[in-house]
DNA sequence: TATGTTCTTCTCATAACGAGATGAACTCAT
DNA sequence: ATGAGTTCATCTCGTTATGAGAAGAACATA
């Protein structure tokens, strides 16, 4: 900061008023497809439209840290319960801050976006100021890299939330490459095919099962064996896969690079 | 955002007042060492201490976007000149947002940090509310991964700026691996040894010259030949190296991984 | 019981990487 | 001018990682 041109007792209320909010891109895997948590707005602007869960940061009275605000909004607007440990196993990281003037038609709002990776959770219950809340398949939102203004694409999310979501998805895809965060989408014990399904859902492309299996087991600290075996085979047959836990690595080395990124390089 | 529990005409001045600032971690290479741009604070708190350049975002009157605010503060406090194109070749990206209550002893301040990569620039001139401004070698700040609170380490930077700087350095080290941003530290035309010096300065370790050379030339779009040759050899001898320009790649594929990260993996 | 699917482990060819070596070009001190 | 030391640029060689395909065993379903 360093705004030392102002007297020490300066009251920001007299200065440029800026509101700070948090928005959360919460991702999970359901039925093999990537889903994002959305709420339907009850009030204008954008009343009736879907938006990312979020809200004001408590600034001075009951001042809260930014990650705490993200968790609180997630709980308030969706009914996900901290007592049941539903929020405990969620990985939360800061995504970025969006503050372009005019992004909120009412006033200047700067929003700190967070990205959350969650294992499969129950359907949310609308709460707070949300008229509705649901896990929505990302593939059905018709998103493109440019946000929500691409030709032939309907503006489906309020504010600039389509852009925030696109940025969150790209971050998630990248994180899967060099961190073991794919395990955050899984139950505490999981199989290699389940882990592969996470990668395929997030990356949107099928992976070579044999090479994926070799890779996962060869990267130190990615997964560790439980010594047990799943009690059922695959959906349409096959042997019972072995069960693993998340290992203690925080970075995958070497990384698990996704194929065919030739177009993205330039 | 979505704070629809409030009436549409709600005035944030009546609500929790939060101030928003931008801080900039501006990095450059000087004499083969990584330097960061710091300003000396003229007013309390932390008067006389070094801090990152930064200041308030213009919120409503003359509302400005966050990256514009970062560039403006960079210019105001250091005298770096936009007319001379000094700010034009600077790569700027958002680093993260720091908003823990109490990080500013006076009031609730949320700071959006930006990371800047600059080619060699002249010494800055203190301006605005800065009592002094200088490029400071990062190695002499005694930083550790934990910020400025490590044993035997003096708190050298105001606020939580040591932590922001540490985060910026780690981001920079990572970016060099999979993007061609090392060229942003170089003049428009540069040699492979110069580029290697950038990597060595940022990563803090020596690289195998032969393998680095092979790698840089083999990654598509990293550099392109100018067909010309430098007019001088190395400092202590050697043939005149060839000159290259930055290529059009935005990602390095395959990446240029730094060696010996075994300790960081867990 | 038959058929098809899936898990898991192989093999093999190719690509990428780390370490070292070499010769030519150049600077600097003598 | 000469020699010593340095650096650029390229090459070789062994190791590791990757992509593609194959194959056997275990399982679900008709």
Minimal-distance CA residue of chain A relative to B252: A265
Query: Do B29 and B157 reside in the same domain of the chain?
Result: yes
Q: The CATH number of the domain where A37 resides is what?
A: 3.90.79.10
Query: Do B92 and B162 reside in the same domain of the chain?
Result: yes
- Pairing, β A109-117 against β A130-137: unpaired
Classify residue A222: in a domain, yes or no. Answer: yes
A223 pLDDT above the threshold of 80:
yes
A2 vs B contacts (CB less than 8 Å): 21, 23, 39, 41, 51-55, 129-130, 158-159
Closest CA to A22 of A62, A61, A77: A77
What is the Cα–Cα distance from B44 to B233, expressed in whole angstroms? 50
pLDDT in tens, A242-265: 999 999 999 999 999 998 666 555
A79: left (phi over 0), alpha (psi -120 to 50) or beta: left
Query: To the nearest whole angstrom, how far is the Cα of B151 from the nearest Cα of chain A?
Result: 25
Which residue is the nearest neighbor of C9, CA to C1'? A210
Q: What is the mean pLDDT of chain A?
A: 88
Query: Do A204 and A156 reside in the same domain of the chain?
Result: no
A248 vs B contacts (CB less than 8 Å): 266
pLDDT value of position A35: 97
B111, containing H or E segment? strand B109-117
Number of residue pairs across A and B with CB atoms under 8 Å?
213
**Chain B 195-234, CB below 8 Å of chain A: which residues?**
220-221
Whether residue B47 and residue A221 make contact (CB cut-off 8 A), yes or no, is no
Query: Which is it for the CA torsion A257, A260, A262, A263, positive or negative?
Result: negative
Query: Do A52 and A80 reside in the same domain of the chain?
Result: yes
A259 nearest nt, CA–C1': D19
| Token pair listed for B34 | 């990584």
In order, the DSSP letters of B73-94 are HHHHHH---TTTTTTTT-EEEE
Classify residue B1: in a domain, yes or no. Answer: no
Query: Do B153 and B228 reside in the same domain of the chain?
Result: no
| Token pair listed for A55 | 């809200």
Q: pLDDT class for B152, splitting at 50, 70, 90?
A: very low
Dihedrals φ, ψ of B185, to 5°? Answer: -85, -5
Query: Do A79 and A120 reside in the same domain of the chain?
Result: yes
**Chain B 161-200, CB below 8 Å of chain A: which residues?**
none
Query: Do B74 and B148 reside in the same domain of the chain?
Result: yes
Minimal-distance CA residue of chain A relative to B77: A2
Classify residue B23: in a domain, yes or no. Answer: yes
pLDDT in tens, A2-40: 444 444 444 444 456 789 999 999 999 999 999 999 999
Query: Do A154 and A220 reside in the same domain of the chain?
Result: no
Query: Which is it for the CA torsion A28, A30, A32, A37, positive or negative?
Result: negative
B23 vs A contacts (CB less than 8 Å): 1-2
Domain boundary among B129, B146, B174: B174
User: What is the number of domains present in chain A?
Assistant: 2
Query: Which range of residues forms the domain containing residue B151?
Result: 16-174
pLDDT value of position B144: 62
Q: How far is the CA of A230 from the C1' of D29 (A)?
A: 19
Angle at B252 between CA B248 and CA B258, to 5 degrees: 140
pLDDT in tens, A156-185: 899 999 999 999 999 999 999 999 999 999
A81 pLDDT above the threshold of 80:
no
Radius of gyration of chain B (CA): 21
Q: The CATH number of the domain where B190 resides is what?
A: 1.10.10.10
Q: Is the CB of A237 under 7 A from strand D?
A: yes
């Amino acid at each position: 900061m360093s705004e030392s041109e102002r007297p020490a007792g300066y009251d920001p209320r007299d200065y440029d008023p800026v509101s700070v909010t948090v928005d959360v891109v919460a991702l999970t895997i359901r039925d093999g497809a990537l889903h994002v948590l959305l709420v339907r707005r009850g009030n204008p602007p954008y009343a009736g439209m879907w938006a990312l869960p979020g809200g004001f940061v408590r600034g001075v009275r009951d001042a809260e840290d930014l990650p705490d605000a993200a968790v609180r909004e997630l709980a308030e607007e969706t009914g996900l319960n901290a007592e049941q440990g539903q929020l405990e196993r969620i990985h939360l990281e800061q995504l970025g801050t969006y503050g372009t003037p005019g992004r909120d038609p009412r006033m200047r709002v700067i929003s700190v976006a967070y990205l959350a990776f969650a294992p499969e959770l129950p359907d949310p219950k609308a709460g707070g100021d949300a008229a509705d809340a649901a896990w929505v398949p990302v593939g059905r939102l018709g998103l493109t890299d440019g946000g929500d203004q691409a030709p032939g694409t309907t503006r489906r999310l309020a504010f600039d939330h389509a852009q925030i979501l696109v940025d969150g998805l790209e971050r998630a895809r990248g994180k899967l490459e060099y961190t073991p965060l794919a395990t955050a989408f899984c139950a505490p014990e999981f199989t290699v095919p389940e882990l592969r399904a996470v990668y395929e859902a997030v990356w949107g492309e099928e992976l070579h099962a044999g090479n994926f299996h070799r890779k996962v087991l060869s990267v130190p600290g990615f997964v560790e064996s439980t010594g047990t075996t799943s009690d059922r085979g695959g959906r349409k047959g096959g042997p019972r896969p072995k069960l693993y836990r998340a290992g203690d690595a925080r970075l995958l080395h070497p990384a698990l690079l996704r194929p065919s990124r030739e177009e993205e390089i330039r």
